[in-house]
Amino acid sequence: MDFTIDSDTQAIAEALLRFVEREVLPLEEQHRELLGSERTMFDAQGRYVPEVLALRRQVRMRSAELGFYNLFGAESLGGSGQGALAMAHIQEALNHRVGPGHPLVQTVVISSPFTNGLSPVLRYLKPEVFALYGAGIASGEKTLCFGLSEPDAGSDVFGMKTRAVRDGDEWVITGTKQWITNSPYADYAMVFALTDPEAAARHKGGVTGFFVDTRAPGFSVPRVINTMGHLGGDTGVIVLEGVRVRDDHRLGEVGRGLQVAMDGVNTGRMGMAASCLGLARWALDQATEYAKVRKTFGVPIAEHQAIQFMLAESAMDIYAAKNMIQNCAWRLDTGRNATAQVSMVKAFSTEMLGRVMDRSIQIHGGMGLTNELRLEEGYRYARVMRIPDGTAEIQRRTIARQLLGGHVDF
């Protein structure tokens, strides 16, 4: 096993961090009155106000111009094709450096496989169709959303009710999608629907993916879903009422949509895990420095064994997560089976971040309960991450099934 980060990847990471520190963070500071409070960031319906959307678009397009935005996009789509080890290193470095609470950094500077940039799912579009949309997506001008989950079909995707019925050279899609990130703002949606309900009932396919223009008649996002103390956000409900999509806008073969969807999900899980690792390192840094200067009973709290144990436990968690992520990324880069390992990494890293954030808040005492130090926001973020892209319980089910099937190689 070789987890060495080559000099080119290290140089890319440093260049990305310089861009964030020299251009993005100063832009956030310049617009602090707008971005400093969710009361000004969101409107009464919980959607980003136009000024915030414009700033996010500005950063996306500048990042794309500098070559950062599509670092992990497939070369066949025009991306840089950086591998899993590179992605893990860069996502960790970015989140470690800036921490939580930056509306112009997270999922904006570097694209997410579900909401912007050259998603791996786009590889399943016909080349001539991708050519119509690829430039706008790659430049950051246009964004995406990934419509798989439904009110009654989250972890159990075969429970979906959204239907797509063939009508000549078109498909007519009807249904509701829920918990869809970036749906209130997306220009295009990657929507998955039942095309063969009987096959889906037998868990033998029957789901097909479609590339949908969100301006199409019948497509709407009636509401934003606020989560974990936020006044607004980017998660919404999609309603499709007889939305027509041409057959050449299919994502892959008819009935093979879940394989298409999982291509993006696994990439997202690795990126999420690496982001959690970076944020955990940031939180431990805050706790370590605070423990050195905060005094009780006449000595820095770093001298109290209770504090030392919390710091040590966080360091152990981080070390374990980093090695898991690097090993899994190495497996992916070298073409080895990593189905169980991706699930292990996603579950462990998201839960690890919650533990590290919790200890950091505890070490800070009353200050940790405020959001002046952004620990409280980091804690809320950590709690949320245990659910998207497959809950911790679903990850454990995947691990167990792989183990029982004899497919786990340690």
Task: Report the CATH architecture of 259-404.
Answer: Up-down Bundle (1.20)
Taking 90 as the threshold, does the pLDDT of residue 190 lie above it? yes
Would you place residue 107 in the very low, low, confident or very high pLDDT band (cuts 50, 70, 90)?
confident
Taking 80 as the threshold, does the pLDDT of residue 289 lie above it? yes
Taking 80 as the threshold, does the pLDDT of residue 269 lie above it? yes
Q: How far apart are CA 136 and CA 132, in angstroms?
A: 9
In percent, how much of the chain has pLDDT > 90?
Answer: 90
Burial (CB count within 10 angstroms: exposed 0-12, middle 13-18, buried 19+), residue 275:
buried
Contact 113, 264 (CB under 8 A): yes
**Closest by alpha carbon to 146, among 266, 40, 232?**
266
Give the pLDDT confidence score for residue 4 in this predicted structure.
Answer: 87
pLDDT digit string, tens, across residues 163-183: 999 999 999 999 999 999 999
Give the pLDDT confidence score for residue 87 in this predicted structure.
Answer: 94
Contact 345, 332 (CB under 8 A): no
Would you place residue 262 in the very low, low, confident or very high pLDDT band (cuts 50, 70, 90)?
confident
Would you place residue 27 in the very low, low, confident or very high pLDDT band (cuts 50, 70, 90)?
very high
CATH of 144-255, one of 2.40.50.140, 1.20.140.10, 3.40.80.10, 2.40.110.10: 2.40.110.10
Task: Report the CATH architecture of 7-138.
Answer: Orthogonal Bundle (1.10)
Q: Which two tokens stand for residue 395?
A: 């990850």
- Across the range 231-246, mean pLDDT stands at 97
Domain ranges of the chain: 7-138, 144-255, 259-404
- Across the range 181-192, mean pLDDT stands at 97
pTM score: 0.94
Give the pLDDT confidence score for residue 55 in this predicted structure.
Answer: 98
Give the pLDDT confidence score for residue 349 in this predicted structure.
Answer: 98
Taking 80 as the threshold, does the pLDDT of residue 366 lie above it? yes
pLDDT digit string, tens, across residues 59-68: 999 999 999 9
Measured in degrees and rounded to the nearest 5, phi and psi for residue 285 equal -60, -45
- Across the range 1-20, mean pLDDT stands at 93
Winning range, highest mean pLDDT, from 105-109, 237-241, 262-266, 268-272: 237-241
- Across the range 380-389, mean pLDDT stands at 93
